[in-house]
Amino acid sequence: MMPLSPAYRPDPAHVSLGGELYDPVRPAVFPKTILRHRNQRWAERLGLGTLDNQEWVDTFGHFQPLPGNLEQPLALRYHGHQFRHYNPDLGDGRGFLFAQLRDPVDGRLLDLGTKGSGQTPWSRQGDGRLTLKGGVREVLATAMLEALGVPTSKSFSLVETGEALWRNDEPSPTRSAVLVRLSHSHIRIGTFQRLAFHSDSATIRRLLTHTITHYYPDLRDLPADEQPAAFVGAVAQACARTTAAWMAAGFVHGVLNTDNINITGESFDYGPYRFLPHYDARFTAAYFDQSGLYCYGRQPASLQWNLARLAGCFLDLVPAEPLNAALERFSPAFEAALRAAVLHRLNLAPTNNLDADLDHIATLFQAMADSKAPFQRVFFDWCGGDASRAAASPQAALYASAAFQPAAAALAAFSVADEARQHHAYLQRRAPVDLLYDEIETIWAAIAQTDDWTLLAEKLRAIDDLRLFTLGPRSA
């Protein structure tokens, strides 16, 4: 009998939607299963922390069903716009929904979904596998984003699987892995788009009822004709908060297609992501994004475009006017969230003037762009708006330059939000925690060349220090 704690609360809600939205599948059988990462902090929160490593691998490497949960994994069906071009041939091609459970802390429905778990009906000639390097990169991305306060999926498990994979974009053969993500839903904008493509209004209505029931319960009591617009507005606000958090974190997702945007607004699926070396609105993460469609500075506009595609899925149910009005909720939500995220990172209290605060933040970002100050270093050195702290930084000469003076003046307009936080151990470090491309490559090189996982473990410990500074000891 699997030793689960009382915190484990299975709730396989997705099966109630019926077979029109998924395909039961079987996981691949791997030649090896070597545990490389387990998210013990979140496992304990969800009642899975009592599994020993063999039980963990049996569950998240061989995919033996969890008690009271899905009897068979489900490959989810969806469509999507990829770089603004509609693709009706998408779906879970190398992943599936493995289990669903309730968070005992906040009661929210959570998914355990995979990446690299084998072929499905939607693999489109692909092998359904994930490179170990891709898994390591996602473990790092999710840990860093969580530590910076971004609503993100969590890398729950990474198991190396012993296969040699061939890829065009990295040296091959390369090692393989299966990743398990913990997410608030795998229902995407593209899930609704697929049903609209097939003019299936009845299933759209059923999916809407499901998503409101499980993810936006405050909308359940609205009249049926008001629910589509209210839902679009709620998703717009959730996406606005996440997009603002990306901007404050200096994060570039890289592939903001509609199949990569879920209806809870939570960020997930990290392929060619990057963190900014310095503020650059044109910085692009994906080498294949030659037009810069999804560059750092265009991320808010990209999400607005995607949300308009979601609204379009309901045009057979309600008129355009309330849907358009709902989309307008994005901009004010984004502005409020950007102010909150930037000022929290800096441990500064907002004033009673939103527009003035946003002007000061714009001045800061412009000075960061003009001076090319290291992105994470600025937030570290200027925490609390402390000019003396900045003057003691290795970047002090840069902060004294004419290019940075407008930012120093802008930061002086705020007061410290939390005096105790100014004395946090994280701020005693010699340098902030960062996650730039070259460091990720160095971490991977140690694994690829000598199977040395030390650098990854050290980096995750450092990121956890950042998490405790950003989110506090009460975070999971």
- Would you say residue 40 lies in a domain? yes
Task: Specify whether 382 is located in the same domain as 304.
Answer: no
In degrees and rounded to multiples of 5, residue 415 shows phi and psi of: -110, 165
User: What is the spatial distance between Cα 340 and Cα 357, in angstroms, rounded to a whole number?
Assistant: 10
Task: Specify whether 225 is located in the same domain as 324.
Answer: yes
- Would you say residue 3 lies in a domain? no
Cβ density class 358-382: b for 16+ within 10 Å, e for less: eebbebbbebbbebebbbbbbbbbb
Residues found in the chain:
476
Q: Which two tokens stand for residue 404?
A: 């940075």
Task: Specify whether 226 is located in the same domain as 297.
Answer: yes
What's the pLDDT score for residue 1?
Answer: 61
What's the pLDDT score for residue 125?
Answer: 86
Mean pLDDT rounded to a whole number for the chain = 96
Task: Specify whether 383 is located in the same domain as 300.
Answer: no
Largest CA distance in the chain: 67
Segment 438-450, tens digit of pLDDT:
999 999 999 999 9
pTM for this one? Answer: 0.96
Task: Specify whether 241 is located in the same domain as 159.
Answer: no
Domain boundary among 137, 162, 186: 186
User: What is the spatial distance between Cα 323 and Cα 325, in angstroms, rounded to a whole number?
Assistant: 5
The confidence band for 476, taking pLDDT boundaries of 50, 70 and 90, is low
- Would you say residue 4 lies in a domain? no
Task: Specify whether 170 is located in the same domain as 268.
Answer: no
- Would you say residue 423 lies in a domain? no
Task: Specify whether 277 is located in the same domain as 366.
Answer: no
- Would you say residue 476 lies in a domain? no
Domain boundary among 417, 433, 458: 417
Bond before 322 cis per omega within 30 degrees: no
Q: Is residue 259 among the annotated active site residues?
A: yes
Catalytic residue among 92, 111, 259, 381: 259
What's the pLDDT score for residue 172?
Answer: 87
Task: Specify whether 53 is located in the same domain as 179.
Answer: yes
- Would you say residue 473 lies in a domain? no
Calculate mean pLDDT across residues 83-110.
97
- Would you say residue 46 lies in a domain? yes
Task: Specify whether 258 is located in the same domain as 318.
Answer: yes
CB-facing half-sphere around the CA of 473: CA atoms within 13 A = 3
Calculate mean pLDDT across residues 30-44.
98
**Is 70 exceeded by the pLDDT of residue 457?**
yes
What's the pLDDT score for residue 395?
Answer: 96
State what percent of residues in the chain have pLDDT above 70.
99
What's the pLDDT score for residue 474?
Answer: 60
Segment 240-271, tens digit of pLDDT:
999 999 999 999 999 999 999 999 999 999 99
**Is 90 exceeded by the pLDDT of residue 185?**
yes
Total domains present in the chain: 3
Calculate mean pLDDT across residues 177-201.
97
Domain boundary among 373, 400, 417: 417
Q: Is 96 left (phi over 0), alpha (psi -120 to 50) or beta?
A: beta
Task: Specify whether 108 is located in the same domain as 250.
Answer: no
The confidence band for 170, taking pLDDT boundaries of 50, 70 and 90, is confident
What's the pLDDT score for residue 268?
Answer: 94
What's the pLDDT score for residue 2?
Answer: 72
- Would you say residue 28 lies in a domain? yes
The confidence band for 56, taking pLDDT boundaries of 50, 70 and 90, is very high
Task: Specify whether 103 is located in the same domain as 211.
Answer: no
Task: Specify whether 21 is located in the same domain as 167.
Answer: yes
Q: Which domain holds residue 368?
A: 348-417
What's the pLDDT score for residue 169?
Answer: 79
**Is 70 exceeded by the pLDDT of residue 387?**
yes
